[in-house]
Structure 1
Amino acid sequence: MSNINMSKEHIENARMLIRQFHNILPVKVGSIASKLGVKVKISTLPTGISGEIKKEDNTYIIKVNRHDVKERQRFTIAHEIGHFILHKEMIGDGIVDDALYRSKLSDRLEAEANKFAAEILMPWDLIKSKIEEFRDLKNEELYEALSKEFEVSTTAIKIRLGKL
């Protein structure tokens, strides 16, 4: 089997594992990391740095900036899980993401990690279900209600819904 097929298999296996956590909101992103064998540490990071993933002693560790709000921390963890699953071979000495989720990696790879993070935290089937549940809410009220349910920012919800 080629490396590309193994990589696709690896990604699909990770997605299947993640789907196991899509039955309760908010999605337990820390538990997903743990199940993947990745440790999460809430840390003091330099201003403007939201998170990083590094390999230390054969263990991958995600560090999340303790000064960021909870919703931001959750997205950062999911984003770094995205790097772990999609770009593991590129982590090397570590990937450090700033507040706009930019790193030394290309914009394309950062966008892939962001999209994967959105899939982890805001799965479409749960979004559709919640939109139906909140059918009386419109626009900002709907985005606020969804952001509370999913414990993500309203900006993350709007991006996921294609409103930004």
Structure 2
Amino acid sequence: MAVVKKRPEPTPIVDLISDIESTRAVLERAGLSGVPMDVNRAAAALGLKIQYEQMADEMSGYLERRGDTWYVGVNSLHSGVRQRFTVAHEIAHFVLHRGQQENFRDLIFTRRSMERNSMEREADTFAAQLLMPKESLVGDVRGGMTNVNELAARYQVSGLAMKYRLMNIGYKVA
């Protein structure tokens, strides 16, 4: 009589991600690395469903759980770079905060800049790290790419997002 061994169940992706490093590792295994990050494919690799829809101008997007599925809503009226940051920001809420609440509504950065919500600051930081990895950015700057707008175009982010990211990793930006 033969003994049949059952294959162990694969670990669910959500059990593998808890911060930017573990998320990058999972995305790299899914073939998602490099610049610019394909945030739609990244969200899908993490099991998130994306919906582009018209929203009020001050609303950039949301993350919400419906049953066993998490949905990212993105304001279809916003620019492409704004939408990319919104998807990255909602991925951040999923990775960092999904155990704390099941519904996130996000206003555009300038409308909530006075807000002292630590979850929003954490999600913004994570999104910036996902879209503009420090190692890649430092390599580009050391390689001679020093124009903020050129860097923003390469990483497919806004000039303002690039300026903040450069300053946060220690560069002086005029």
User: Under a length normalisation based on structure 2, what TM-score does the superposition of the two structures give?
Assistant: 0.77
1:86 aligned onto 2:79: no
2:97 aligned partner, one-letter code: H
User: Between the two proteins, what is the percent identity of the paired residues?
Assistant: 30
Which one of 104, 119, 132 corresponds to residue 129 of structure 2? 119
Matched AA of 2:95: I
**What is the aligned partner in structure 2 of residue 98 from structure 1?**
107
**Distance in 2 between residues matched to 1:8 and 1:54, nearest whole Å:** 18
Q: CA deviation at 1:15?
A: 3.3
In the alignment, is residue 147 of structure 1 matched against residue 156 of structure 2? no
Call closer, same or farther: CA 1:122–1:22 in 2, change over 3 Å: same
Cα pair 1:78 1:121 within 8 Å, conserved: yes
CA contact (8 A) 2:16 2:26 kept: no
Q: Measured at CA, do residues 49 and 57 of structure 1 come closer, stay the same or move farther in structure 2, by a change above 3 Å? A: same
Q: Where in structure 1 are there 5+ consecutive unaligned residues?
A: 1-6
In 2, the alpha carbon distance for the partners of 1:106 and 1:40 equals 27
Aligned twin of 1:16: 25
Equivalence for 1:4: none
Please, what TM-score do these two structures have when normalized by structure 1? 0.81
Retained in 2: the 8 A contact 1:38–1:62?
yes
Which segments of structure 1 move beyond 2 Å, counting only runs of 4 or more? 7-10, 12-15, 18-23
Q: Name the stretch that deviates more: 142-151 or 43-52.
A: 43-52
Q: Highest Rg: 1 or 2?
A: 2
Would you say how many aligned residue pairs link Structure 1 and Structure 2? 150
Query: Does the aligned pair in 2 maintain the 1:22–1:123 contact within 8 Å?
Result: no
Distance 2:116 2:16 in 1: 23
